[in-house]
Amino acid sequence: MVMVNADALLNQPYKDVVRQLRALGLKVIVVRVPNEQDPGTVLSVQPAGPVRQGETVTVTVAAHQHHDNGDGNGSGGGQ
């Protein structure tokens, strides 16, 4: 078992976090979600606490926000 301290990994660059988790013998999945934080910033790590070596940890990372410039009400102006 290794200890994953998620709180200590939050807001860090995801590449550093992935490197640290792999060094502990864990598999890592990176999930990118639109967020206002800087792209590549770690938003969450799960599971946290004691984790078996070889288990998979999911690192959620901020991605660019996508703006469609639409008003979302479906009024495209067509007739």
Per-domain residue ranges for the chain? 2-63
- Confidence at residue 65, expressed as pLDDT on a 0 to 100 scale: 74
For residue 47, say if its preceding peptide bond is cis, omega within 30 degrees of 0: yes
Amino acid at 57: V
Q: What are phi and psi of 20, to 5 degrees?
A: -65, -45
Torsion of CA 18, 20, 25, 30, to 10 degrees: -10
> 29 - beta bridge partners?
58
Whether 77 shows a pLDDT value over 60: the answer reads no
CATH code at 2-63: 3.30.10.20
- Confidence at residue 69, expressed as pLDDT on a 0 to 100 scale: 52
4-20 tens-digit pLDDT:
999 999 999 999 999 99
- Confidence at residue 35, expressed as pLDDT on a 0 to 100 scale: 92
Of the ranges 23-27, 35-39, 58-62, 75-79, which one carries the lowest mean pLDDT score?
75-79
